[in-house]
Chain A
Amino acid sequence: MRITVRVNDREYRLDVEPRRILADVLREDCGLTGTHLGCEHGVCGACTVLVDGAAVRSCLMLAVQCDGGAVRTVEGLAGRDGEPHPLQRAFSAEHALQCGFCTPGFLMAAAGALEADPAVGEDPERVAALAGSGICRCTGYEPIRRAITRAAREWPRPAT
């Protein structure tokens, strides 16, 4: 089946079987291997990406479902000039990653939540829900929580 998907603001015209999973198409057909696959069961969160602005598990979506839609992966976070995204800066500053396998998923889950509502960062319960929305075997989650809170503080506010 022929589909057109915008991934990180670039248009991809792809020919994919309906059974192909979004995560596999991002990695294999688009060459965007920043999206990681851990469990492929929706549990670990490593594969989290934004589809039309909402954070989703890319291991539990079919690529054909994104026909005509927009996907953002971890490769799309940094600015054009390579300037790290506020979340990437905060994860680095708070040591919210060690091996980094889980990191793309946490970054995208947090990006989706903060883009929808920057006030998430002021609510410890919602930050905890984000930090608990994936599995990290290295950090113990606390640094991830701190990083999300820090990024929320530095989040660009719309000019008033």
Chain B
Amino acid sequence: MKPAAFDYVAPRTVREAVEALGAGRDAHVLAGGQSLILEMRLRRARPEVVVDINRVPGLGRLSVDGGTLRVGALVRHDAFEAAGAVPGPLGTLFSLAVVTIAHPPIRSRGTMVGSLAWGHPASEWCAVAVAMDAVLELRGSGGAREVAAGGFFHGPFQTARRPDELVTAVRFPLPGADTGAGFAEHRRTHFCFAQVAVAATLTVRGGLVAEARIGLVNAADRPVRARAAERALLGAEVVLPPAGHRLPGGHPFARAGEIAATADAAPVAEPYAGVDYKRHAVAVLVGRALRQAAEDQRSRAAVHRGGHR
């Protein structure tokens, strides 16, 4: 189908964009359009006004300030494909996650902030944001405010954003060099959203887990931080089985997977993926993502010890 008729505005400043959103008509932000235009074609979205923010200068900025990364509303998915685009383990995590989002021609338009604003339960970025304690910056008629990712997602496609608010950016604290990142995803075909995916980071000090962060994609009606599994990992000794071998049953990563599947996930049944199946996938993928994070941490530490070339 073709989209229903709408009025189109292309503001040149954030202030103009916010004014257009707050003018009392049903207005939708157009960022990458890779979800919105599809929804409009399906007539699930029928905005009266489309506010195209693509001509607002400055929203495409990706910057690091001290220990914080700031991603503007127009930074496209594909900006994160190179692991070096963002420093340290966060860059590794982003580069692992981003290639599971759609295809190159969709990643060249779609935006990270658009994914957060959209709030699809199977969105990789939403779970990454929740796991990494991201903070969203919003601007509305009433002024600017910030919302932690942990409190932003209220359900499928439901967020704390008010209709007159523009999400201008999202900020992430940058983890240090003693942290490693992993990402594991299961999908039916290249063209599907994730059935389940897991983002994980592990901070290891003296061979023991000092901090664990686990974000679950599509394991509930919203992105989930697997707090129970994270707690269970604290203080665990990081011993990796040889490459190519499975995690033994009692391994802390396997146990964390079981806990995430039973205590943290609240899967919603979907065609081809019932609740039990999704719980099983969560358990397996948490184990894999943690293992990858531990390996990443180990190689990072080795480089660190070896000094810079």
Contact = CB atoms under 8 A, between A and B. Distances in A.
B103 A18 contact: no
Given A45-B105, A133-B104, A64 B191 contact: no
A133 B108 contact: no
Give the interface size class of chain B. Answer: 20 to 34
Interface in A42-59: 42-43, 45, 48, 54-57
A61 B105 CA distance: 12
Given A18-B50, A42-B34, A57 B106 contact: yes
A112 B52 CA distance: 24
A109 B8 CA distance: 28
A42 B102 CA distance: 9
Contacts of B245: none
A93 interface: no
Interface in A1-31: 1, 17-21, 24
Given A40-B41, A42-B34, A113-B104, A18 B109 contact: no
B33 A60 contact: yes
A112 B104 CA distance: 10
Contact of B38 (A24, A41, A55): A41
Contacts of B41: 21, 40-41
B194 to A, nearest CB: 16
Give the interface size class of chain A. Answer: 20 to 34
A18 B7 contact: yes
Given A60-B33, A61-B33, A135-B191, A19 B105 contact: no
30 contacts: A1-B8, A18-B6, A19-B6, A21-B41, A40-B41, A41-B38, A42-B38, A42-B106, A45-B103, A54-B105, A54-B109, A55-B104, A57-B34, A57-B105, A61-B109, A62-B30, A62-B33, A62-B37, A64-B8, A65-B30, A65-B52, A65-B54, A109-B103, A109-B105, A112-B108, A113-B104, A132-B103, A132-B190, A133-B104, A133-B105
Interface of A: 1, 17-21, 24, 40-43, 45, 48, 54-57, 60-62, 64-65, 109, 112-113, 129-130, 132-135
